[in-house]
Amino acid sequence: MNRRTHVVLSEQLVRDIDTIVGSRQRSSFLTEAAEKELMRRRQLKALDELVPWDGKQHPELKYGAAKYVRKLRQETERRFKKATAR
């Protein structure tokens, strides 16, 4: 069952959506976008509940996962270069 609702969007956002999907597909596009965002937020919430990250248990992630992964990759690259230089 569909329900009509009133949503306020900027004129530029409406133009951008219409350019890509057309004005006749606006509602289905916004529905799909909202469903994807809700799924993403539910997944993040579930991850937070399943894997609580704190500084005591995971000090290596103090400055963020991206920085930690970058550091791991750099260390692996250095070890690879050292091993292959022999």
Average pLDDT, the chain: 91
Q: How far apart (Å, rounded) are the C-alpha atoms in residues 3 and 26?
A: 15
Q: How far apart (Å, rounded) are the C-alpha atoms in residues 13 and 48?
A: 32
Between 49 and 76, residue with greater pLDDT? 76
Q: Which residues contact 60 (CB under 8 A, 6 or more apart)?
A: 68
* pLDDT confidence of residue 65: 85
**pTM of the prediction?**
0.59
* pLDDT confidence of residue 31: 97
Question: Could you report the per-residue pLDDT of 31-61, keeping only the tens digit for each?
Answer: 999 999 999 999 999 988 887 667 787 888 8
CB burial readout 56-78, b (16+ within 10 A) else e: eeeeeeeeeeeeeeeeeeeeeee
